[in-house]
Chain A
Amino acid sequence: MSRLSVVSTDKVNSTTEKLMKEFTQRIVANPPGVCPVDMQLAFLKVCHAQTCGKCVPCRVGLGKLEELLEDVLDNKATMRTLDLIEKTAENIKNSADCAIGFESARMVLAGLEGFREDYISHVKEHKCIGTFEQPIPCVTLCPANVDIPGYIALAGEGRCADAVKLIRKDNPFPTACALICEHPCEARCRRNMIDDSINIRGMKRYIVDNAPTNTVPVPECAPSTGKKVAIIGGGPSGLTAAYFLQLMGHQTTVFEEKAKLGGMLRYGIPNYRFPRERLQEDIDAILSTGVEVKLNTVVDTEAMEKIRNEYDAVYIAIGAHTDKKLGLEGENSNNVISAVDMLREIGDDKYPDFTGKRVIVVGGGNVAMDCARTAMRANAKTVSIVYRRRQEDMTALPEEVEGAIAEGIELVTLKAPLRVEADENGNACALWVQPQIIGPVKAGRPAPRKANKPEERMECDVILVAIGQDIVSKPFEDFGIAANRGRLCADETGALNMVGIFAGGDCVSGPATVIKAIGAGKVAAANIDEFLGYHHPITVDVEIPEPLLNDKIPCGRVNLSEKEAWARKRNFEGMEYSMSDEEAVQEASRCLRCDRHGCGVLRGGRQDRW
């Protein structure tokens, strides 16, 4: 017997590793709509299988919890069973020796609270509260419910113009979403169970690159109803509502305070991510439905009164376009610039010149990345991002952070801004920061606190503040619209507290994604149509290809490539490359067609109209 030995991976271990990875992927792709109590029981069984068996609470207690949950699902439980589940889990949490036990119990307690209604429904009604809605995961998770399997199949056959038409049934911004959507649709893609999610945004990009949206005619508008709808704000939400309302036969007028349409798509997202001429393709198509546009038109309280009298309905989609302040000493020094202001200028083609300047960006979201990368393109000497938490805590998409790093931008993490130091001319010359230590998790996120380290002075010439945006809600609140901390209080139909006035997008949700704003515009259009006394369905006449009969063997996901960092970081040109035909065909063939396989063919499948 040797004293020590080198452990080599045996077949059992390597298979376990492989299956664990696959199991993780399966959890990622958990279908929306399955019974949460059943899922909880399944998790609990996994937890129990992980038990070494030494300690009583874990070895015995978890088994007893399983039996109690089985009773709930088998209609044998009473409300007292729920109490017993709680007490049992509480005891295991309190008395288990290691995390295998107490974390299992903690999950049960969290579920018991979070799925309380479902538990009660099983006990009292003997059925799950959820109806059988396990529709297509990607479509469900898309705020505008775009027919994703449909357009991927069309793209796979090279029918890109048809794909544009299909996308437009739910979303008149195919190009915008092709280039900059945060693609929540990909999160639970069932393909994760085999290898990786479908590159849905990449497929859409292939579609609009092969069939630019301004070359695909929009559907015919319904006969004119004679109704007039005012849209306040020419961003993605407002223009979406305008587009659908035009198709429904209503005459819309968009009031836009800036010189051009597009909202945050133009005045928030820089050109290298979303080239302006591509934005114009979507806007031109939308305007071809006959939308009237009033640019450079600020709608204040008085104007609202007039609009309300002149129009049959109003949709407010003013976005969140004003900056948040740091609230720091010296914040008003020269060269402390808000992200909103800088990106707005760029939207009107006024580019800053930071040649030779040392730039600090404060913030950790996507806007902070946009600012940092814009500063780099504006020829800054150095660009640093200062953030209170760690890189993994940043709210920006990981690929945005990685892109910034590749372009030579420094991440300075765990530094909380203290004050801005200005020189004798009132120009910012340094940012003082307090080093932080990452600490306990609060509300799901690790919270930083002051570290036992001295303040630091970071020399700089320009400070860009990208810590969030606010809504200019005052004129509307003065008009009588209810708001909560600046957000207009619209219900799930988009309706406000004043009849005939609807709102949606960032001004209701707070700063969020483009696709959420588009989804809100779609919802508002439907409900304004109903409010006006109509029921115009929005449909599309595109036949969806049959699913491919290929075996679903694992296959890598095609990712989009970008220009090399050195070639892109000093100009504002678009930097992402499209898929090739070869790549698109392969990627489309990976789609599992959940619209035709699984429950999509029975319930919650393709919606060909709304």
Chain B
Amino acid sequence: MVNLTINNKKVQVPEGTTILTAAATVGIKIPTLCYLKEINEIGACRVCCVEVEGKETLVASCNTKVEEGMVIYTNSQKAQYARRMNVQFILSQHDYRCAACQRNGNCTLQQIASDLNINDVPFEQDYSEFDWPEDFPLIRDASKCIKCMRCVQICDKVQSLNIWDVVNTGKRTNVDVSRMRKITDADCSVCGQCITHCPTGALHERDDIQKVMDAVHDPDKIVVVQIAPAVRAAWGEGLGLPASMATEKRMAAAVRAVGVDYVFDTNFSADLTIMEEGNEFLERMAHKDQYQWPMFTSCCPGWVRFLKSQYPEMTSQLSTAKSPQQMFGAVAKSYYAQILDVDPSRIFSVSIMPCTAKKAECELPVMNDAGAGQDVDVSLTTRELDRMLKAELISPALLPEEEFDMPLGVGTGAGVIFGATGGVMEAALRTAYFVVNKENPDPDAFQAVRGMDGIKEVTVEIGGIPVRAAVVSGLGNSRKLIEKIKAGEAEYDFVEVMACPGGCAGGGGQPITDGVELADVRGARLYELDKNNPLRFSHENPSVQALYRDFMGKPLSHKAHELLHTDHEAWDMPKAK
């Protein structure tokens, strides 16, 4: 243990602790800006600088380890002066017209400037210009970038795609797409992890709210909304709504209050995905020698983009089943149009997703199988949902809970856990067990795939056949797993992959709480919803059963193939360079 004094308080911490962490143990908060624990500890912003007695120069508390006998002042005149002026330096190169920024009210720079009582910037404003393809789902506004390097680090260290890099040196140092590429030519998965780890509004999703509102106000359009599992675990965060108020039924009420015509649940199409993908897996297992192994899940578009760019030779190992978002879109513009007895072209299909890659997915040229334009017209992130509710003057706290609409608003507990890492695998195993054994397993029999470990492995016996399964989240972890498979060090039958650490609960479209990873908290809410749902098995979803009975026939039928499956080879992804 190391003994030191911080602001006249005695502190004892283990060797190797940083000053920042040591201060926190005695309730002393040192402001940080570029710092991201274990990801970005580069001491670049110099906002966390503190004074060490006997030393002339200040040290960055985020990456300086404590030493025995140190005497530290976090708010000495020198430290405070440096902290304030360094924030003023940053502001002088940041477009601080905060009122017109997506991150207004949830910006670390804004918060620090406010906390430090910065009322003016004594330097000339000089920031980079916005120069970015505006129709790309992920937007980088250079005028807001403070060069904290978090995006560079998260993409390198966690997602292993190295999309961002520092370009130029000296005063023109900037962050841009790496290796002289344009974002449209880069192998970006559009996972959005750089967005959720950006302290300012420099990185954000393309805002598609207006497209939805235009449809809402178009009398010819029937606006059909699906809401993804993980959205319900997080939507309240961006509205300051406590978890007890931010229920899924209140979410349904709030979305309905926007004026959309039908509020449905992606849990429904998650269940449908299990029927298709589970049966596809059993089918592939029955003809094992005809396929390359393992089979990969295909519900995460960030992962699909990753695999197609990094390991194109493995594309055929993706399940051909569409993601729940796209299955829903195809069903909405076919089966549901039939139920409503309307021309499918009148249906405006909106998804609300915890995800930025979903925006790219719904725009893929092949995602139009229902024959009425894109199956999903607009995909909004959870953050956009929150902003839309605010903009439409809706106060969810004052709304009574409401049910989802029928029939596509019915989802099982197996569907809702799609939003957490391991959920797809668990749901699939529950149904596969049923298909093979003709009886349900204990719904909690496959708990081993739950939890926040980046790579989880489990072998389950189904009908006497051992199924070697792996669950991975985070693209860096995915790369590790694939490299192991390619090196022959690991062998699996079925692998669930989610691009974001913790799965969709930690998705790149979720509300941002800077410096805090919330995937496991949100995931726990989803497992709670699963537990409390009387339906725990996808194959028991009555609406899914009705869909097969009245429209699709059976899983993997011709019609199902037409509407619910896709050819991953039919579009190109920029390859890794």
Contacts and interface: CB of A to CB of B under 8 A. Distances in A.
Contacts of B559: none
Interface stretch (B160-168, B199-207, B284-292, B542-550): B160-168
Interface string B169-182: 11111101011100
Interface stretch (B61-69, B211-219, B347-355): B61-69
B222 interface: no
Contacts of B472: none
Given A127-B180, A546-B65, A35 B166 contact: no
A38 B172 contact: yes
B63 A132 contact: no
Interface in B53-112: 55-57, 59, 63-65, 67
Nearest to B41: A601
9 tightest CB-CB pairs across the interface, nearest first? A132-B166, A34-B169, A127-B167, A35-B169, A551-B56, A38-B170, A128-B168, A602-B42, A601-B42
Nearest to B56: A551
Interface string A97-138: 000000000000000000000000100010111111010000
Contact of B169 (A125, A134, A601): A134
Given A33-B169, A35-B169, A127-B168, A549 B180 contact: no
Nearest to A129: B180
Q: Which of A33, A34, A125, A128 has the most CB of B within 10 A?
A: A128
Contacts of A38: 168-172
A550 B41 CA distance: 20
A35 B55 contact: no
A550 B55 CA distance: 7
Nearest to A601: B42
Contacts of B170: 34-35, 38, 42
B149 interface: yes
Nearest to B67: A549
Contacts of A552: 57
Contacts of A227: none
B11 interface: no
Contact of A128 (B57, B153, B169, B179): B169
Contact of B52 (A42, A549, A596): A549
Given A131-B179, A132-B169, A601 B67 contact: no
B31 interface: no
Nearest to B63: A601
B149 to A, nearest CB: 6
A596 B64 CA distance: 10
A602 B59 contact: no
Interface string A10-50: 00000000000000000000000111001000100000000
A603 interface: yes
Nearest to A552: B57
A563 to B, nearest CB: 40
User: In this complex, which of B52, B64, B166 has the most chain A Cβ atoms within 10 angstroms of its Cβ?
Assistant: B166
A121 B174 CA distance: 15
B462 interface: no
A336 interface: no
Contacts of A160: none
A265 interface: no
Given A125-B180, A601-B43, A549 B55 contact: yes
B67 A602 contact: no
Interface string A544-566: 00100111100000000000000
Contact of B55 (A33, A73, A128, A551): A551
Contacts of B178: 131
Nearest to A34: B169
B44 A35 contact: no
Given A35-B170, A602-B44, 19 more contacts: A35-B172, A38-B169, A38-B170, A127-B176, A128-B172, A131-B165, A131-B166, A131-B167, A132-B166, A132-B167, A134-B169, A546-B64, A546-B65, A549-B52, A549-B59, A549-B67, A550-B55, A601-B42, A601-B63
Given A551-B56, A601-B42, A601-B43, A73 B63 contact: no
A35 B42 contact: no
13 contacts: A34-B170, A35-B169, A35-B172, A38-B168, A38-B171, A42-B170, A73-B172, A131-B166, A131-B178, A549-B55, A549-B59, A601-B41, A603-B166
A321 B107 CA distance: 67
A77 to B, nearest CB: 13
* Residue among A34, A35, A552, A602 facing the most chain B CB atoms (10 A cut-off): A602
B147 to A, nearest CB: 10
Contact of B165 (A42, A73, A132, A546): A132
